[in-house]
Structure 1
Amino acid sequence: MSDSWKLVLPCTRAEAEAIDVEDEALAMLEPPPVLMTSERVADDDGAWQLEAFFDAEPDAMTVAAIRALVPGAAALDIEPEYIPDQDWLTLSQQGLEPVHAGRFYVHTENNRGDVPDGAKAFRIEASTAFGTGQHDTTSGCLMTLDRLKLSGRHFGNILDLGTGTGLLAFAAMHLWPAARATASDIDPRAIEVVRENAAVNAVRLGRGPGALSLAAAPGLEHRLLRTRGPYDLVLANILAGPLIDLAPAIADALAPGGVLVLAGLLERQRAGVARAYRRQGLRVAGRIHGEWPTLRLVKRRAAHRRSHRRRATQTGATADFGSW
């Protein structure tokens, strides 16, 4: 246990959903705060809040970076609150409820609850990486994986790109236990989180069938990622901008007939993301609707794919690619 600090800023739902966790000012903070957004008043889009938890007293630059995330609170005189003798990570998890998506049930150590009959439970703690299952993007990917299994699809070589906490890779390995699986993230800290979560959830790490290999890399710029391809299932729960930038590299890494699951995009960004992948020879085969849709695409088995590579993706990398 240790002392901690918390900053609570009122905001609107639109401001909460517009928060960019890859913001350059946030990336400069060390250690990074844990951020949570939630409703203050149920079903009131104007009554949301941003909570930032710190394990030390934040300096003026840190407070300013957090305030900049919600412009509507810029003029409010709200200062960080000292919370004595508390575990800041546990505090950040107190409002989290277990998530039941498809056949998967995701919980933290403090909120396991009753696991539904027939559900596969994963314990994923809140951390500096995303992917706990709480966000619609992650639960949408879990439901898409469940539907792929129900449809009779089989996969033998799986990539979770921008893995965050490893949850999607774990879920795919549960559904196709004989597959080779790879998980990567641009942030080396996320890879350490995946290692910890793999141990907690009895997921085997390694190079062979039924094991998960890990790599810290931007995009697909890592020897391991290149040599283990092509993949017949790629999961990419990132953000719309990086998804578009990485379209040529991801398409190249996907086997003909392979399935690509995309998330991290808003509904208003869906058409642009889908268009970027159609240009690379993929077609949209299904989606989960909502404010944060999940797209399922299939790479055509025989298609003349025109090159639409943007300058930032000539090597398959993009500067702002990271965890979701």
Structure 2
Amino acid sequence: MSADSWKLTLPCTRAEADAVADDIGALAMLEPPPVLMVTEPDEDRPDDWELVTYFESKPSAKTIAMVAALAPSAAGTKPVLEHLPAADWVTMSQSGIEPVSAGRFYVHTSTNAGAVPAGAKAFLIEAGLAFGTGQHHTTSGCLEMLDGMRRRGEVYRSLLDLGTGTGLLAFAAMHLWPLARATASDIDPISIDVTRENALANAVPLGRGPGQLDLMVADGLEHRRLISRAPYELVIANILAGPLIEMSPQIAAAVDDGGTLILAGLLQTQADAVADAYRRQGMRLAGRIDRSDWPTLRMIKRRRVR
């Protein structure tokens, strides 16, 4: 419990929101670190987002400036700082978040579990320092895509969740293919710490064998274990359109012949450019799910003629 909690609100762009999801910079070194959340207040205005930061005590001007630096588009806009009544500030940061149903999956926090639908696989994912609670259309689109693949009888024995965030997509894929050798990576060490905690909370086994999740901090695919465990029959990359295009040669190379690549984190206006980048790497578009302005693409790597 905190007797002196504070909330700082700033407008931001979608690109800034995604960047915050990947790295909160020097704020992670504060003790205790604040909880940052990004929200899309109006789905009809997909570039107008909001950055909300919760502190256990009143932030200094320097700390406020650190938050403002994460949203350069808000330069000239005065941050809104609110003093909150005594409360559990992490629970407060999760207020208003609704559980998410996507395919057979039901994703909730500890404060909104509700009644799990019959036959659903529930995951406890707290809102906090890492991106990917199931709330955003990119994450729920990936969950729906994975569910559909399993319902069609597809089987995968090795998988990679690239830019894992909270670990949710890796957990979901492991539930669908429990014997697969699973890998999850993120450039942000905090995300890997959060994924490890979430794995414990959801009884997801960690390790390097079949049916276990191997975690690592990595910049893209630049990690010896990521390279040694390739190629993967399934790769999930819910990141940003720019990095997806830039890394298309490396990501496509990590997919096994005939394997599947799920791409998300892009806008409708970016989908053709992303798909074209992977077509140039020998992949074809095999499926698409659209949630609001956020598509999820399923690419298949063409088999080479030997």
TM-score of the aligned structures, taking structure 1 as reference length: 0.84
- Letter paired with 2:27: L
The one-character-per-residue Cα deviations of 1:202-253 (angstroms, maximum 9, x if unpaired) are: 1111111111111111111111111111100000111111111211111111
SS at match of 1:226: helix
Report the more deviating stretch, 289-298 or 137-146: 289-298
Equivalent residues of 1:16, 1:70 under 8 A apart: no
Deviation at 1:20, TM superposition (A): 3.5
Question: What is the alpha-carbon distance in structure 2 between the residues aligned to residue 278 and residue 142 of structure 1?
Answer: 23
Structure 1 residues 227 and 75: alpha-carbon distance in aligned structure 2, compared to 1, 3 A threshold: closer
- Cα 1:199–1:45 shift into 2, 3 Å: closer
Give the corresponding residue for 1:296: 298
In structure 2, relative to structure 1, the CA distance for the partners of 1:16 and 1:282 (3 Å cut) is same
2:83 aligns with 82
Question: What RMSD in Å do the two structures reach over aligned CA positions?
Answer: 2.6
CA contact (8 A) 1:104 1:142 kept: yes
Q: Distance in 2 between matches of 1:253 and 1:47?
A: 34
Name 1:204's counterpart in structure 2: 205
SS at match of 2:294: coil
> C-alpha separation between the residues in 2 aligned to 1:268 and 1:89?
35
Counterpart Cα distance in 2 of 1:303 and 1:66: 52
> 2:39 matched to which residue of 1?
37
Mapped partners of 1:36, 1:22: distance in 2: 10
Task: Find the counterpart in structure 2 of residue 256 from structure 1.
Answer: 257
Q: Which amino acid aligns with 1:287?
A: R
User: Matched residues, percent identical?
Assistant: 57
> In 1, distance between residues paired with 2:65 and 2:19?
16
8 Å contact kept, 2:207–2:214: yes
| Match runs of 1:1-324 below 5 Å | 1-2=1-2, 3-9=4-10, 11=11, 17-22=14-19, 26-30=24-28, 31=33, 33-39=35-41, 50-64=51-65, 66-67=67-68, 69=71, 71=73, 74-76=76-78, 78-289=79-290, 290-302=292-304
- Structure 1's 64 and 21: CA in aligned 2 closer, same or farther, altered over 3 A? farther
1:232-278 CA distance string (max 9 Å, x none): 00001111111112111111111000000011111111111111111
Q: CA deviation at 1:28?
A: 3.3
Q: Could you tell me whether the CA contact under 8 Å between 2:17 and 2:49 is conserved in 1?
A: no
Q: Is the 8 A contact 2:181 2:208 kept in 1?
A: yes
Q: Deviations over 1:71-127 (max 9, x none)?
A: 468345x54222353332211101110000000000001100011111100000112
Q: Distance in 1 between matches of 2:299 and 2:59?
A: 43
Q: Which consecutive residues of structure 2, in runs of 5 or more, have no partner in the other structure?
A: none
Tell me the secondary structure at the aligned position of residue 197 of structure 1: helix
Aligned-pair distance for 1:62?
3.8
Paired with 2:94 and 2:17, the residues of 1 have a C-alpha distance of 20
TM (norm. structure 2) is 0.88
Q: What SS does structure 2 have at the residue aligned with 1:170?
A: helix
Contact 1:158-1:180 at 8 Å conserved across structures: yes
Q: Is the 8 Å Cα contact of residues 25 and 65 (structure 1) preserved in structure 2?
A: no
Q: Is the 8 A contact 2:14 2:47 kept in 1?
A: no
Q: Whole-Å Cα distance in 1 between the matches of residues 273 and 45 of structure 2?
A: 29
Q: 1:132, 1:165 within 8 Å by CA — same for their partners in 2? A: yes
| Residues 52 and 269 of structure 1: CA distance in aligned 2, closer, same or farther (over 3 Å) | same
The alpha carbon displacement at 1:22 in A equals: 2.0
